[in-house]
Structure 1
Amino acid sequence: MLIDAHIHLDQYLENEVPTLLEEAEHVIAVSMNIESCEKTLKLSKTFAKVKAAFGFHPEQALPSAMEEEALFDWIRQHAHDTVAIGEVGLPYYLKQEKAVDDRPYMELLERFILLAKELNKPIILHAVYEDAAIACDLLEKHHVKKAHFHWFKGDEEVIERMIQNGYFISVTPDCTYETEIQQVIKKYPIELMMVETDGPWPFEDPFDNKRTSPWMMNHSMEVIASIKGITTQEAARIITRNTTIFYNL
């Protein structure tokens, strides 16, 4: 079984969770906001396979100043219950829908980067295309090395920069049908790679009308192995080891 490096476990129905967890060695369960953090914490206390990450998803309206302070206070209070700060980042897809002022999102991301540094935790980033370069700027500014860019997409320049910095990426099941993701896999070292589902986000093609579950990562592993010219077993061994060490599982 594989480790799902990024899943929104709190968004599944409560009775679905035990079955999902049967399909994974561990899951890194990320959070969307303070309510999501609280649910994720409860799941991690209930199931040993669940490792919690606390953060604020950027593809939504910003929290009020009071909400932001409450979230940061809560994360600090529960620092011993989390393996990472996340999911945090920048609102790339929200900006495709409407005009968004980047600056407050960048300020919030920088604050989360400083929190990760303060608590000595990895950071899980939602930062794609040009936003990935901004995230790199902030990580480099504060000398934060342990960064995981989930479902990453970006150009060759930012890919090379991320590789040089030793940042990790994770691959979703869309690698089975998206040429763009296959090209990222080709360029990125497997030693800096994980797999994820981002569930319950749905996938297409072979996964049409199927509930997103950790078993889908087996198909991702086959694609990675084929592109890297190694066996599926060797790819699984390397990627599982990467994730175990990165998250100190």
Structure 2
Amino acid sequence: MEKLIDAHIHLDQYDDIEIAALADENEAIEAMVSVSMNLDSCKRNLVLSERFPIVKPAFGFHPEQLLPTEKDLDELINWMRVNKDKMAAVGEVGLPFFMRAENKVTKKDYGRYIELLEIFVNRAKKWEKPLSLHAVYSDAPIVCDLLEKHSVPKAHFHWFKGDLRTTERMLANGYFVSVTPEVAMEEPENITLVQNYPINQIMVETDGPWPFKGQFIGKRTHPLMMKESLKKIAEIKGMKFEDINTQIRNNTTRFFNI
């Protein structure tokens, strides 16, 4: 069996013992793309990647939090510039859908989140790095607008949920998606996404340590859960598990250049 690659995990949010155990799974796991929340998270992911070659860090600012100050943003961008050759992607970046749904983001601030994302889109284009995006539902078309505006060729919509029109726009532009173990739980939106998306633009992820229900309830999120995701994708696509596993692994290595 081909080794697994987790296209989106918050490895820095696991404790040291868990991280060492995950890194020791190198007979089954080839790589983990560990995305960042902020500058401290970026720095920790960099240290982890230097300690464990299996870790491929992505640097960015997660949108589901308060906007950074101008000083903090400048410090983050400058740090990313210095360390750009060490990162697999710019991420996790995007727009604050869930904060906005909870009325925690004003219309004015939402505009500032869009401006912030455009900064990261520009940097990714300039540095020739892929983007790992947090962009779901009504935010996704806005993100597509930015990607098209700047002619960004490599974009990854992690844990994507959205309408068919946006999905078709994304796949036409060559953007990638990844699905979580939710797909193995018969989660309808994930099933539909896999049905509609071409297999050469799909990856798998855990978004760990985010917990899952169903057969995974009570279990600490682990990249090996992606085996169940792959089995379900193979079923949906009517393909052999081995062929799906190889295709998705190749998709991920090609996308992140790892």
- Judge same fold: TM > 0.5, yes or no: yes
The corresponding residue for 1:172 is: 180
What is the aligned residue count?
A: 249
Matched, 1:69 2:78: no
Deviations 1:165-204 (A, max 9, x none): 0000001001112111111110011110000000000000
Match of 1:201 among 203, 206, 210: 210
Q: In the aligned structure 2, how far is the partner of 1:104 from the partner of 1:32? A: 18
The within-5 A match list for 1:1-249 is 1-21=3-23, 22=25, 23-100=28-105, 101-177=109-185, 178-249=187-258
Structure 1 residue runs of 5 or longer lacking an equivalent are: none
Q: In the aligned structure 2, how far is the partner of 1:120 from the partner of 1:156? A: 29
Q: In the aligned structure 2, how far is the partner of 1:37 from the partner of 1:164? A: 32
Deviations 1:193-244 (A, max 9, x none): 0000000000000000000000100000001000000011110000000001
Amino acid in structure 1 at the alignment position of 2:163: D
Secondary structure of the residue aligned to 1:85 is: strand
Secondary structure of the residue aligned to 2:88 is: strand
Q: In the aligned structure 1, how far is the partner of 2:126 from the partner of 2:90? A: 11
Amino acid in structure 2 at the alignment position of 1:237: T
Cα deviation, residue 18, structure 1: 2.1
Cα deviation, residue 130, structure 1: 1.1
Deviations 1:78-102 (A, max 9, x none): 0111011000000011111124131
Give the fraction of aligned pairs with identical amino acids, expressed as a percent.
53
Secondary structure of the residue aligned to 1:166 is: coil
Query: Could you state the TM-score of these two structures normalised by the residue count of structure 2?
Result: 0.95
Query: Could you state the TM-score of these two structures normalised by the residue count of structure 1?
Result: 0.99
